Amino acid sequence: MPHFETNHVVEHSAEQMFALVADVERYPEFLPLCEALSVRSRKERDGKVLLLADMTVGYKAIRETFTTQVLLKREERIIDVNYIEGPFKYLDNVWRFEPVDESQSIVHFCIDYEFKSRLLGALMGSMFDRAFRMFSEAFEKRADVIYGA
C-alpha cells in the first residue's frame, strides 16, 4: 500500500495552483510518466466540476491506462481524485491549496494506491513512487513557466 504525502510552500497563489492542477488536459506536457490524458465527460453543478478522465502512464515498454473521477471544488481549493478502473486495486488522491498570502500558498498532495498485479507493482511501483515524489516539483516548475518565477 504505497502512500505519499507532501506539503510544500510555493511562490504562487492558491488560486493559481488550483487552476494549474485542475487543467488535467495539459498534464502530458510536463508531468512525469504521463503520456496521454483525455477527459471523457465534464459536468458542472453547485460550483463544482466533475470530470471523468483517462490517463495513460508509461515507463520504458510498459503502458497502462486508468480512469479516474476528478472533483474540482474551486471554492474550497480542493481536488479529489477517485479511481474508477484500470491496473490498480485502488487509488485515492487529494490536492488541497492553502493560501499563505496573495502570492504564496501551501500545496498539500496526498496519494494512496496499490496495483492489482504484484508483477506490475514490482515493475512500476518504484518508478511510480519516484514520479509521485516529483509531482509537486513538476507542478511548481509548470507554475513558474505559466505565471512567472
How many CB atoms lie under 10 A from the CB of residue 103? 12
Radius of gyration of the chain (CA): 15
Q: Kindly tell me if the per-residue pLDDT of 115 is higher than 90.
A: no
| CATH of region 3-147, choose from 1.20.1560.10, 3.30.530.20, 3.30.70.920, 3.40.50.2020 | 3.30.530.20
More confident residue, 41 or 149: 41
> If pLDDT is split at 50, 70 and 90, which confidence band does 30 have?
very high
How many CB atoms lie under 10 A from the CB of residue 118? 10
Residue 77 to residues 17, 68, 92, 128, 139: CA-CA distances in angstroms?
9, 19, 17, 25, 16
How many CB atoms lie under 10 A from the CB of residue 84? 14
Q: What is the pTM of this model?
A: 0.90
- pLDDT tens digit sequence for 121-146: 776 667 767 777 777 789 999 999 99
Round to whole Å and give the CA distance between 47 and 62: 38
State residue 95's pLDDT score.
97
